[in-house]
Amino acid sequence: MAQPDNKKFFENLSGAGKAIAVLTSGGDAQGMNAAVRAVVRMGIYVGAKVYFIHEGYQGMVDGGDNIKEAKWESVSSMLQVGGTVIGSARCKEFRTREGRLKAAHNLVQRGITNLCVIGGDGSLTGANLFREEWSGLLEELVQQGLINEEAAQTYSALHIVGMVGSIDNDFCGTDMTIGTDSALHRIIEVVDAIMTTAQSHQRTFVLEVMGRHCGYLALVSALACGADWVLIPEMPPEVGWEDQMCQKLSENRAGKKRLNIIIVAEGAIDSNNKPITTDCIKDLVVRSLGFDTRVTILGHVQRGGTPSAFDRILASRMGVEAVLALLEASVDTPACVVSLCGNQAVRLPLMECVQMTQEVQKAMDEKKFEDAVRLRGRSFENNLNTYKLLAHRKPDSELPNDGAPYGSSFNVAVMNVGAPAAGMNAAVRSAVRVGISEGHKMFAVNDGFEGFYKGQIKEIKWGDVGGWTGQGGSILGTKRTLPAKYMDKIAEQMRIHNINALLVIGGFEAFECLLQLYEARSSYEEFCIPLCMLPATISNNVPGTDLSIGADTSLNAIVETCDRIKQSASGTKRRVFIIETMGGYCGYLASVGGLAAGADAAYIFEEPFDIRDLQSNVEHLTEKMKTSIQRGLVLRNENCNENYTTDFIYQLYSEEGRGVFDCRKNVLGHMQQGGAPSPFDRNFGTKISAKAMQWISKKLKESYRQDEGRVFANSEDSACLLGMRRRALVFQPVMQLKEETDFVHRIPKEQWWLKLRPLMKILAKYKTSYDVSDSGQLEHVVRNRTKELDAAI
């Protein structure tokens, strides 16, 4: 097939004759192994030699068996393992020139001039210094007679690409570092467990989480569990915070809340840069309020455990991108880091990121805390702004009421539509509390549009949504019923309750509902109000957004189950598992779940396949099973093909693999839809819901007709879907998204994640074509705020 001119494919990039070494350095982080695996397999795939450097820089200095060539099978079954299999160590010797001289000698002996370093800012700074000194080190080695002139010429340039592995998410230039999401999983698991015991005894818990210089973990876990108070280094509390905190704790208790959670980053400080410890908070609460208070320090639990689906996908994407960056590097290319911006992999100059990270600490030392927050980047800043919006309820006297009907407030209804998705409740809670803070009266609609036309609408208060963030499913109740048949009754209920704006949280049905309401505006003035939709579905099949609330929780359920299923066969003979996932006609769960679980194939509707493809997959697996690989994993989306059913594929693999491997099949079913929401879904739901409510407030002010005393909005841009598009959150009119939608199969016509499918195939040893048009551009760290960034998460 001819490849279009405007696309760039990596087949043109060859690694032949090149040697790449991968090392992990500094503190370990879950997902490092997934990054190592991706570097090794992508490197071997493009024809390069790949080496492990065991024990970080120490191994590079010591040489010998610490630097070993990696084979394809060397990284088998390490995707699901936490920590780093190749070891990590703090190395004082590498900080000296003598140490770096030894390291350079060890690399040149093996012909290694490409380094992939996975670690924090200290490890990456060390790598950059090594690169800058490289030519001088080689000269010294020639003078000492350790290498000859020819070797110095051949290996004259050292190329470095970094990936940030740090659970603290303390590196500027990337939205998420490898390991952060998994650490949040550990924290939230603990918080959810503590909540049940705290409720039983009406206790206050003070939790210390990691983050000596960065409060990201504390901030996001506070957002994700609805903590009463959070203390982080970037935002020291104002003078008199002790009284404010105690007042808030006692108000919450008075409002029938049986527990209090206070989250403290280990580096928390007050406005005089004095440390705030968990014990001093405990003493304060006991002394001032007399509450039964306990302290829990999470410590190294946060670093441990298996990596989350997000970290596996992030690390796999980054690992492949790192190899591409090394293949494209020239003598003049600065050392770069591969990072994540929104939903996109980008390359940034390593030292720009390091300098900015160091500036954050400098700003904090100089008590310029606002600068520190801005330098941390948009992801941190937006989390902080959302937390501030939700954390403190304003007294009624401070609530705005300018230009509102009847001199009081607007009435905003919130509802769920479609199938339940984890994170819906976090979104509802956020909408209710932000709405109340903005001065609106919030109404909850039970059971979707079915409840709407039956009048199941009631006012919902601040305290009614307490503790909702960690609840799975939909507390409001949700139905798939579309409004078309009940327009008269729905319009009547809108009149009765004087609904001025509507926020719909749901999947593809919610999108159809908004379209129907928009199209009915010509007949019903009641629908001429701001309408907003938030995508919430495990299938991730809504147009206008790269991600939906609930999809991350579902991916984690799939990945966890695949891990267990693979482990169930350990010690037995070679085995292949055929696993069926949900998703309707959308192959997102099968494809991205396949990438995170290390699948050999994932069959989806969007990529048609025939019997020849099935045959070649079986043959490919048979060949792999003749090596040391023991396990195979094949995912199948439930609607990928009406004839090639899960049973058919199972029988085909069983027959064709006879004598080499045996088969088992599993249909995962509704376990993919249940469970407590993941930290990502809680956070994503909370943030986009807060943003949607601010948009609704703005639209209400714009469309309020003072003379008529009512809201009237009938433009296209007053009925929008809020979605994540590449790097930003964007409000898109649903009428415009209609063109981008395949209504028969209930999927968008174009889906970004199809670009990730070749990664799964490459990492499973298939020859494939991979479009790298999006990558390859070295960008710069953004310092000044731009409109695009203001619109971002």
- In SS3 terms, 104-156 reads as HHHHHHCCCCEEEEEECHHHHHHHHHHHHHHHHHHHHHHHCCCCCHHHHHHCC
3-state helix, strand, coil in the chain (%, to 5): 45, 20, 35
What is the rounded CA–CA span in Å between residue 593 and residue 561? 11
* Residue 454 burial (10 A CB sphere; 0-12, 13-18, 19+): middle
- In SS3 terms, 376-414 reads as HCHHHHHHHHHHHHHHCCCCHHHCCCCCCHHHCCCEEEE
Tokens read off for 603: 């069959």
Q: Cα-flanking dihedrals φ and ψ of residue 476, to 5°? A: -70, -20
Largest CA distance in the chain: 91
* Cα 308 from chain centroid (whole Å): 10
What is the rounded CA–CA span in Å between residue 207 and residue 150? 59
Secondary structure letter of residue 235 according to DSSP: B
Sheet containing strand 601-603, strands side by side: 601-603, 631-637, 575-581, 662-667
Q: Cα-flanking dihedrals φ and ψ of residue 111, to 5°? A: 70, 25
576, 629 in Cβ contact below 8 A?
no
Q: Which of 133, 128, 126 is nearest to 104 (CA)?
A: 133
Q: Which residues does the annotation mark as catalytic?
A: 168
654, 540 in Cβ contact below 8 A?
no
Q: Which of 787, 531, 549, 528 is nearest to 684 (CA)?
A: 549
Beta-bridge partners for 533: 504, 721
Tokens read off for 130: 């090594």
